[in-house]
Structure 1
Amino acid sequence: MAATSAHLRFDLALSRTALLLALHAALLHHDCAARPTPSRVVLGRRQQIDAVYNFGDSLSDTGNLLREVGAGSVVGSLPYGETLGEPTGRSSDGLLMIDYLANFLNLPYLPPYLDKSANLDHGANFAVAGATALDRSFLLDRGINVTFTNSSLSIQLQWFKTHLSSLCASKEEYCEEKLGRALFLVGEIGGNDYNYGLWYHNAIQEMKAYVPLVVGRIVDAVKVLIDLGAAHLIVPGNFPIGCHPSYLTQFEGANYDLDQNNCIEDLNEFCRFHNDQLQGAVDSLRRDHPRVTIEYADYYNVFLSLLTGADKNGFDQDSLLKACCGIGGAHNYDPSRTCGSRGVPTCTDPAKFISWDGLHLTQAAYKDLATQLFGDYLLRGKDVAA
């Protein structure tokens, strides 16, 4: 993995200080429901990021699920990881946004926390594919079947506390100083809370009742991390799931309107509903914690930009809503024969596709998203960095 990582690493000579200045300035675009941008704390010019801690699900899991379930996990076998030359536990053909963020910060790729041989000096990844924001027992009691993992956000936070207690000889020596120079990503998470309900019940309006609970759990996690010493946090929103081949296939034939991108508008409106509530919660967190930098990362609109700018980004215009690894139907997705199943083919060039397996994205898509969210701001901060 080390040789592959080096080969794929960006040739970036920009400082970590530049990224921090830039993250403060404009990490996000606001979602469709616009609101005034609140004032934010300007980061010091000498501020550095020495570690990254990530909490989330399959969009950022770099190998925890693989270590939870072992060889039985589909992400532990090719074609997953084929662009890297080997499966790594990532739900993609290659790297994820969290990997490119580490590149931008000139830090090693985040090791999965459950890899007990990993060096965690520069942070750890607590994300687990299939994880939910709400506890599994809570969802099961309400008839929502959580099938992949029990490692919800509260369990990931407990892992972090355990990790922290093993490192903190004293608050002055590690907790306060080290965490003050760390970047925390709290999500994307919450998507699976909705996925499990939508996949089995198709009840968009019913799932809206869970949005305040999911957002509340994310907010609670941010507060816990701030209390522990976090000073720089990013809270991402959700992607427009109405553009995913899995949902386009599942809801095909149902009476739902398509938008200008041929995505299911009702599902995308649901995502905007979640994102709007999450942005409002982030605004409140900023007001309550004026000395802490808390950014909302707009995954929704940067994803839509991949669709509208497909040609210039190198994606095949005829495959924008199709899975690279999949089979059957208008969107190359069959829920009974998913990527990794026997006889399911992979496209010849994943870099031409946005969707990898109907649920997750390709390395090429993640790279473009990361560049939009992080790379542009690196360049913007270059001239003012110390």
Structure 2
Amino acid sequence: MRMLVRLVLGLFVLKAAEANPRFSRQVDLDSYDSTNYDVDLDNLNLENPDIYDYEDGLTIDDPQIEIGTLAPPDYSYPVPEASLEEQEEEEEEEAELPLKPQLIPQGSGGSGVLMGPDTQKEEGLLPTTPETPQEGAGGVEGSVSSGLPEPDEPDEPDEPVVDTRGMPTCLLCTCLGGSVYCDDLKLDSVPPLPKDTTHFYARYNRITKINKSDFASMNKLKRIDLTANEITTIDDKAFLGLPELEEVVIRENHITQLPALPETMTLIDASHNNIGTKGLHREAFKDMTGLLYLYLTDNHVDYVPVPLPDSLRSLHLQRNNIQMMHEDTFCNLKDFNYIRNALEDIRLDGNPINLSRTPQAYICLPRIPIGDLI
């Protein structure tokens, strides 16, 4: 149907153009023989070279009429009213929709700014940094909330309280062969130990006192380590009934008096306590013929605990209150050939003593003690 209508309209336009006199004149001009267009140079108009006179009197400046200059009439077809109303409603909805700012996430390459009609400037879109709400200001503008209640932070579970009274030692502690490890178990006393225990470790607990009965009949016990407890008192005979005891480590406690120790000792470490001059037995280390290491660092001792056995290799007395030293502290003044070869490590730094005042006290030592020489 549309094709038929277009054909009818085309015929109508052609007939109207043929009836127009301007159309017929253009047709005559188009049919004119091209041989008649020889230019006569005598008749050339020099004032206006664009105009030429031809033999038949025609000039090229006559208005040229082109076919098709008349535009066909604009035919508008009727459109259903329903479609026009729908189109108008769509245009109104598009005009009423506001431009909502959109947040460009930083993770996708954006700068995290809001883009919308409010951010447009004369020179273009300028990125703006949103203000961060101050803590405690009470404002909620600019903040994004999911509307879901925030889950409460899980409370840290309380440490279970274990009643260690009456519990077998090897169930509470770790028993490996003859070694018993009871470190960091919040013990407030020494637990009952198996009779064949050789090494006992109870470091980082809350033990406050060592009783004589704690190590009774422990004939195989060689090492006791009670580092970093809260011990203030040790029974003076707590370690004397141990025939195999060699090492006692009671550092980092609150002990004021060093207990009596058997002659079998090889290592004594009582550093970081409150032991003073009255806290050491007279000639406490004289008979310990196998003693190798004696550590009394960070106490309140004011003299070198002589006599010291010849077997001693290391003596640490730094940061005490030692103010003087005798010439026979380490050497034998009656025997100038005496040399103490084993004692190679003497620490006296941190004491108010001038080592240069007693040079005769070191002539039998392989090395000079460490300390202030001025």
TM-score of the aligned structures, taking structure 2 as reference length? 0.22
Larger Rg: 2
Higher helix share: 1
Higher strand share: 2
TM-score of the aligned structures, taking structure 1 as reference length? 0.21
